[in-house]
Amino acid sequence: MSISLEDYSWLVSAAAGKWLSEAGSTQQDLVGLTRLLRKDLSQSRAHLVLQQVELRRRARAKFAQADRMFFTPTSLEQSTDEPIAKYKSGKFPRDHAVADLCCGIGGDLLALGGRTATTGVDAGAEVALLAAENCRRLGLSTTSVRCGEATEFPLESVGAWHIDPDRRPDGSRTSQLAFGSPDGEAIARMLSRQETAAIKLAPAATWPQEWDVANTFEWIQSRGECRQQVAWLGEFADHRRVIATVVDADGVAASFDGDTATASVVASRVGRFCYEPAAAVIAAHLTDALAAHCDCQRVAHQIAYLTSDNEVRHPLLSAFEVLDCLPFDHKQLRGYFRQHGIGHLEVKKRGVPCNPAQLQKQLAAKHGEAAATLIISPQGTSTMALVAKRLTSTR
E-state strands within 57-206? 98-101, 118-122, 143-147, 160-163, 197-201
Q: What is the pLDDT of residues 58-114, one digit of tens each?
A: 999 999 999 999 999 999 999 999 999 999 999 999 999 999 999 999 999 999 999
- Rounded to a whole number of angstroms, the distance between the first and last alpha carbons of the chain is 44
The pLDDT-based confidence of 180 (bands split at 50, 70, 90) is confident
Tell me which residue of 183, 157, 52 sits closest to 105, measured CA to CA.
Answer: 52
Per-residue buried b or exposed e for 90-109, using 16+ beta carbons within 10 Å of the residue's own CB: ebbeeeeebbbbbbbbbbbb
What is the domain partition of the chain in residue ranges? Answer: 5-59, 76-253, 273-392
Tell me which residue of 395, 135, 133 sits closest to 277, measured CA to CA.
Answer: 395
Mean pLDDT of the chain: 92
Q: At what angle do helices 43-59 and 30-38 cross, to 10 degrees?
A: 140
Per-residue pLDDT for 174 more than 80?
A: no
CA atoms within 13 A on the CB side of 257: 9
Amino acid 169: pLDDT: 63
Helix, strand, coil in percent for the chain, rounding step 5: 35, 25, 40
Per the CB < 8 A criterion, the answer to whether 73 and 55 are in contact is yes
Amino acid 394: pLDDT: 80
CATH of 76-253, one of 2.70.180.20, 3.40.50.300, 3.40.50.11810, 3.40.50.150: 3.40.50.150
Amino acid 377: pLDDT: 97
**% of the chain at pLDDT higher than 90:** 79
Per-residue pLDDT for 173 more than 70?
A: no
Q: Is 30 or 313 the better-scoring residue by pLDDT?
A: 313
The pLDDT-based confidence of 10 (bands split at 50, 70, 90) is very high
Amino acid 264: pLDDT: 96
C-alpha distances out from residue 64 to 53, 67, 83, 132, 162, Å: 15, 8, 10, 18, 22
Q: What is the pLDDT of residues 184-242, one digit of tens each?
A: 899 999 999 999 999 999 999 888 888 877 789 999 999 999 999 999 999 999 777 89
Amino acid 170: pLDDT: 58
CA 285 to CA 282: how far, in whole Å?
A: 5
Spatial strand order of the sheet with 216-222 comes to 143-147, 118-122, 98-101, 160-163, 197-201, 225-233, 216-222, 241-247, 253-257
Per the CB < 8 A criterion, the answer to whether 386 and 377 are in contact is yes
Amino acid 97: pLDDT: 96
Q: What is the pLDDT of residues 27-46, one digit of tens each?
A: 667 666 777 788 888 899 98
Is the torsion defined by CA of 353, 357, 360, 363 positive or negative?
negative
For residue 364, give the 3-state DSSP assignment: coil
Amino acid 335: pLDDT: 96
Tell me which residue of 223, 213, 214, 183 sits closest to 199, measured CA to CA.
Answer: 183
Q: What is the pLDDT of residues 252-283, one digit of tens each?
A: 899 999 999 999 999 999 999 999 999 999 99
The pLDDT-based confidence of 336 (bands split at 50, 70, 90) is very high
Over range 338-355, report the average pLDDT.
96
Amino acid 338: pLDDT: 95
